[in-house]
Chain A
Amino acid sequence: MRANTWAGRNKVEVRDVPDPKILNSRDAIVRITSTAICGSDLHLVDGYVPTMQDGDVMGHEFMGEVVEVGSGVTADKLRAGDRVVVPFPIACGACAACAAELYSCCENTNPNAGIAEKMFGHPVAGIFGYSHLTGGFAGGQAQYARVPFADVGPLKIESDLTDEQVLFLSDILPTGYMGAEMCDIRPSDVVAVWGAGPVGQFAMDSARVLGAAKVIAIDKEPYRLRMAEEAGHIPINFDDADVRSKLLELTGGRGPDKCIDAVGLEATHGSAHIAAYDRVKQAVRSETERPHALRQAILSCRSGGVVSVIGVYGGLLDKFPAGAWMNRSLTLRTGQCHVQRYMKPLLERIERGEIDSTRIITHTLPLDEAERGFDLFKNKQDNCEKVVLKP
C-alpha cells in the first residue's frame, strides 16, 4: 500500500510499504477513506519529538471502512463493512485510567512504556503514527491501518454524514472541545484562545457552544484570524497589537476569565529578543519548548481564572511564570485529549448542527501529495488551515 512516512527531519515521503495485518486478537484493519495532517505532525517533522525513525508511517487522524477484525472482536462491537472514525489515543478500556475515562493515559497500550516512563515519569497511551515513545504504531496517512483494541475506540458512523463532517472526531474537534470544557465555562466568561489553527478554531467554537459570553482569537496570520472572525469570534493580531493591553481593553480591564493555549511548544513571539532566547535554547536542546503562548496566557488570565493547555508540550520549558500562577490563584489544566470520552456527544452536536467542523478545511489532496500538503500547512501558504488527504 501507499503510506506517508517520516524520512528524517523536515522530510516526509510517500512510499510503498507492506499492508497491515492483524497482530493482536482485538485488532481491526481499516481501509482509510479520509485522513488529515495535524499540527502535532509538524512537531514530529520539525524534529521536536524524539524516537521517530526513518520509515515510520505518520498520521493519527483517520477514518474509513473496517475490512477485517481479529478473533477477539465480537460482531456486536465491530464487523467488516462498518464505517468508523478512529480516535488517536489507543486505549484498552480495562485499566484504571480507562475506567476513569483518561484514555490518553491508558496503562496498557504502549509497548514502549518503559521509555515513556523515563521521559514523563509515568507512561502514556499508544498513539498512531506518533513516535516510538508512544508505542511505535504505524499511522493513518495510508491506504490501510491496523487499529488495536478495535472493540474499544472506533466510533461507528451510521448516518449519511460526509467524511469531512466527522473525520475530525478523531482528534482536533474533541481536543478543542476538551480545551474549552476544562475551562468550566460560565455564561459571563470571556474566553481567549491562543492559536487560530484547526484546534484553536474548534476550541473557540466549543467555548461558544458551552455558553461563553465572548470568545477572543489570538494569532498573527490574517487569514486564520479572518476565519475565526467569520465564525463570530473577536480577533487579535499579535503582530499589530500588544496582546495584554488589547485583552484588557476587550474585558473592561479584568483580563479573560479563561485562557486556552492551542499553540504548544513551537510558539512564535512578537518580541524578537524573547523569541531568540527560546529559539536558541531550543536549538541547543537546553530547553525543548518555546512557550510564549503559555506564558502570555498565564500573565493575561484574570485572577482565579483557568489556563487550559491543549497545545502539545514534550519536555522541559524555561521561565515558567510560577509567581503569576501561584499568587493570582490560577488553575492550570491540561492533557492529551481523551478522545473516546467526547466522540459520541460531539457526533450528536454535529448531527444537531451545533458545530460545523468542515469550516476549517482549506485543502483536499490525494495521499500521494502528502509532502506538498505538509509544505502548505507548515509554511502557511495558500491560506492553508487544514489539509485532508484522500488515499
Chain B
Amino acid sequence: MDLTATTTVRKSASQVYAFWRELENLPTFMAHLEQVRATGDRTSHWVASAPFGKDVAWDAEITDEVPGERIGWRSTGDADVPNAGTVSFVPAPDGVSTEVYVALVYDIPGGSLGKAVAKYFGEEPHQQLDDDLRRFKQVLETGEVVRSDGAPWGKRARKEFPQRPAQPLSDAELTKGAEA
C-alpha cells in the first residue's frame, strides 16, 4: 500500500527537518506509533500501538539523507509489516514556511496481521496520514497536539467518532486517560 500526504508548516525547512530527524518525536503526532528509539546514528527501533496487535515492533535504518531537505528510511530484518518512507522539506513560496511531502510504502502481509493492519487503516488510509501531518503541524507551530472536550486524547481523536459530548471530563475519565 502506497500513501502520500503533504502539509505546510510555518517554520524554516531546517527547523522542520530537525524535528522529524529527532525520530523520538514521531509518536507525538503519528497515531499508530507508540515509541521510536534511536539505536545508532542511522538505525532505530519502532513500536506500533494496539491496533496493529500487541507486539508489533521493527528496526529501521535511514537509507538516504540530505540535511534540511530529505530523509528516507526502510524497515530492516524480518519486520512483520515491511515498510519504507521518505519525507521531503521544500521551502514554500511565502519565504517563511516549509512544504512537507511524505510518502510511505507498506508491504501488507496475508493472514490475521494483514487483516488487522487493513482494518486499522480502514476505507480511508489517506485520512490517517493527513491527520498525522495535521498534528505534526500543530506540534511544530503551537508546541503540542490540540485537545478539545469532544476529542480530549489528541492523536486518538479520529477513532472516537461519534465523540464524547463537548463537556468537561470527569475526574474518572481524566484518570483513565486515553484508554477510557
Residues of chain A whose beta carbon lies under 8 Å from any beta carbon of chain B: 1, 3, 5, 17-21, 23-26, 53-57, 72, 92, 94-96, 99, 107-115, 126, 129, 132, 135-139, 144, 146, 148-149
Please classify the interface of chain A as helix (H, G, I), strand (E, B), loop, or mixed, using the class held by over half of its residues: loop
Chain A contacts for B157, CB-based, 8 A: 111-112
Q: How far is the CA of A26 from the CA of B169 in the complex (A)?
A: 18
- Are A95 and B144 touching (Cβ within 8 A)? no
Shortest beta-carbon distance, A152 to chain B, in Å? 9
**Given A23-B147, A25-B144, A135-B148, do A114 and B166 touch, yes or no (CB 8 Å)?**
no
Interface residues on B, range: 35 or more
B158 at the binding interface (Cβ < 8 Å)? yes
Contact at B168–A114, with CB atoms within 8 Å? Answer: no
B residues in contact with A148, CB < 8 Å = 146-148
Given A99-B10, A111-B148, A114-B130, decide whether A54 and B165 contact each other with a Cβ distance below 8 A. yes
Q: A18-B169, A95-B141, A136-B149 are in contact. List 19 more A-B contacts (CB 8 A).
A: A3-B167, A17-B167, A23-B147, A23-B149, A26-B143, A53-B150, A55-B166, A57-B149, A92-B146, A96-B94, A112-B150, A114-B130, A114-B158, A132-B151, A132-B163, A135-B150, A137-B166, A146-B168, A148-B146
Q: Which of B66-74, B78-86, B113-121, B131-139 lies at the interface with chain A?
A: B131-139
- The smallest beta-carbon distance between B32 and chain A, in angstroms, is 16
Kindly list chain B residues whose C-beta atoms are within 8 Å of the C-beta of A138. 148-149, 166-168
Selected contact of B151 from candidates A3, A72, A96, A136, CB within 8 Å: A136
B76: Cβ under 8 A from any A Cβ: no
A136 to B144, CA, bound (A): 18
B residues touching A (Cβ–Cβ < 8 Å)? Answer: 8, 10, 94, 97, 127, 130-131, 134, 137-138, 141-144, 146-152, 154, 157-158, 161-163, 165-171, 174
Q: A56-B166, A57-B167 given as contacts; is B137 within 8 A of A108 (CB)?
A: yes
User: Is the CB–CB distance between B152 and A23 below 8 Å?
Assistant: yes
The residue in chain B whose Cβ has the minimal distance to the Cβ of A112 is B151
25 A-B contacts, Cβ less than 8 Å apart? A3-B167, A5-B167, A18-B167, A20-B168, A23-B169, A26-B142, A53-B150, A53-B166, A54-B165, A56-B167, A95-B10, A96-B10, A107-B141, A108-B146, A111-B151, A112-B150, A113-B131, A114-B127, A114-B158, A132-B162, A132-B163, A136-B151, A137-B150, A138-B168, A148-B148
Q: How far is the CB of A373 from chain B (nearest CB, A)?
A: 19
Q: For B168, what are the chain A residues with a Cβ–Cβ distance below 8 Å?
A: 1, 17-21, 57, 138, 144, 146
Alpha-carbon distance between A26 and B139 when the two chains are bound, in angstroms: 13
Give chain B nearest CB distance to A4 CB in angstroms.
Answer: 11
Q: Contacts A57-B166, A96-B94: A108 and B148 contacting too (C-beta < 8 A)?
A: no
**Residue in B94, B146, B150, B170 whose beta carbon sits within 8 Å of that of A132 in the complex:** B150
